[in-house]
Amino acid sequence: MPRMVSIDTILLFFPVISFPIRGARHAARADSGRYCSSVSRRRLGGRSYRHCGALYGPAGPVRVRIPQKRPEGPKGIAVERCDAGLPERLILFRRNNEEENEADALNNIGVIHKLQGRYGKAMEFYEKSLEIKKRLGDRAGMATTYTGIGNLHDRQGLYDRAMEFYEKSLAIQKRLGNRTGMADTLGNLGNTHSKRGRYARAMEFFDKSLTIQKHLGDRVGMATTYTGIAIIHKSQGRHARALEFFDKSLAIKKRLGNRAGMADTLGIMGNIHSKRGRYGKAMVFYEKSFAIRKRLGDRMGAAFSSANMGLMAEKQGRLDLAIRYMEEARDILLSIGSPMVKKIESQLRNLHHKARQ
């Protein structure tokens, strides 16, 4: 049986809430198998409810649904098992003494627990996976699991611990000459420093990551790093510089045909224009984001874009239009059973009250 795909995930970027953290691809790409071709060559899930059916490889697929914008569940991730036979397959791996596949399966089960917010369980599986990989001398696999554990600590706000594991992963990737993995892990370190407000240090890591990505022609990675840099500028109030880097990220996503990524970036750029009081400009970006999300069938994202458009119309004194956009957002959220509908209904009541005055 071929070796199972070993993969870890991105800590996802929800616009205005967080920023992207890169997940390690298997450090030795030659034996990593393919990742989820329905998303991109190196991203698990991505955005816009796209389904990844390649997570477990020979052990059976797992469908991962990742909602746009504000999370509805633990960390905004809904994960559905598509194959109830995974435990039996794990037993088969053990019976056949396929330790590499067993280790990768354990790692991937850890990923699923992490996505569902069960961090204690995730750590159990990561540690079991790591134990086997160490015994086998599988350094590439160890790097993957170290990154997964780093992501896990980052999600819990344990940034020092996260960086400790990212550094372990980076050291292995350097020894293996895995420049793609190095670039991703440098980006992870940059994001963690950025979260802690250490912007100068974060920028150092982003610059190193970007240098490697440019040399490799890794446009997906470049788009992610440009976003990380943009968020640093945004956090420091340098909105013009932030827009410049978001625009670079957007240009790459357009060339790659990454429509979900385009919708995200357009929405963030709309947020920045809104913050600067440029409500008409913000409306243009929200409208573009909304149109893409509608085409993708991303109802949650479309609802939030519509709500943002309603807010901009309200700022411009166009209350009838604001009500129309908010009603559309409400109807979408009702159709998917989102608890966020209460917030929109409250906003609608305020708008109707304003319109009557």
pLDDT in tens, 173-214: 999 999 999 999 999 999 999 999 999 999 999 999 999 999
What are the boundaries of each domain within the chain?
178-253, 258-357
Q: What is the pLDDT of residue 104?
A: 84
Cβ count near 243 (within 10 Å)? 19
Domains 178-253 and 258-357 in one fold: yes
pLDDT, residue 95, reads 65
Instruction: State residue 250's pLDDT score.
Output: 98
Superfamily of domain 258-357: Tetratricopeptide repeat domain (1.25.40.10)
Q: What are phi and psi of 9, to 5 degrees?
A: -115, 165
Where the chain has pLDDT below 50, the residues are: 1-2, 4-84
Q: Half-sphere exposure of 315 toward its Cβ, with a 13 Å CA cutoff?
A: 17
* Total residues found in the chain within this entry: 357
d(C-alpha 242, C-alpha 235), whole Å: 9
Residue 194, pLDDT score: 96
- At 107 the pLDDT is 87
CA distance 353 to 345: 12
CA dist 299 and 8 (Å) reads: 27
Dump pLDDT digits (tens) for 225-265.
999 999 999 999 999 999 999 999 999 999 999 999 999 99
Cα within 13 Å of Cα(184), Cβ side: 28
Predicted TM-score of the model (pTM): 0.75
Fold entry, domain 178-253: 1.25.40
3-state secondary structure of 83: coil
Q: What is the pLDDT of residue 133?
A: 96
**What is residue 47's predicted lDDT score, i.e. its pLDDT?**
31
Q: Write b or e for each residue in 40-55: b if 16 or more Cβ atoms lie within 10 A of its Cβ, otherwise e.
A: bebbbbbbbbbbbebb
CA quadruple 145, 151, 157, 160: dihedral sign: positive
| Amino acid sitting at position 325 | Y
CA–CA dist 237, 240 (Å, integer): 9
Question: For residue 21, what are the β-bridge partners?
Answer: 11
Q: What are the backbone angles phi and psi of residue 80, rounded to the nearest 5°?
A: -115, 130
Cross-strand partners of 65: 78
What letters, b where the CB count within 10 A reaches 16 and e where it falls short, cover 187-207?
bbbbbbbbbeebbeebbebbe
Query: Burial letters for 74-109: b for 16+ Cβ neighbours within 10 Å, e otherwise?
Result: ebbbbbeeeeeebeebbebbeeeebebbbbbbbbbb
pLDDT of the residue at 106: 87
Instruction: Say how far apart CA 105 and CA 7 lie, in whole Å.
Output: 9
Which of 291, 293, 241 minimizes the C-alpha distance to 269?
241
Taking a C-beta distance cutoff of 8 angstroms, is the pair 72, 101 a contact? no
Which residue stretches of the chain are H helix?
86-95, 99-115, 119-136, 139-155, 159-176, 179-195, 199-216, 219-235, 239-256, 259-275, 279-296, 299-315, 319-336, 341-356
Kindly calculate the radius of gyration of the chain based on its CA atoms and give it in whole angstroms. Answer: 21
Query: Could you tell me which of 187, 276, 180 has the C-alpha nearest to residue 226?
Result: 187
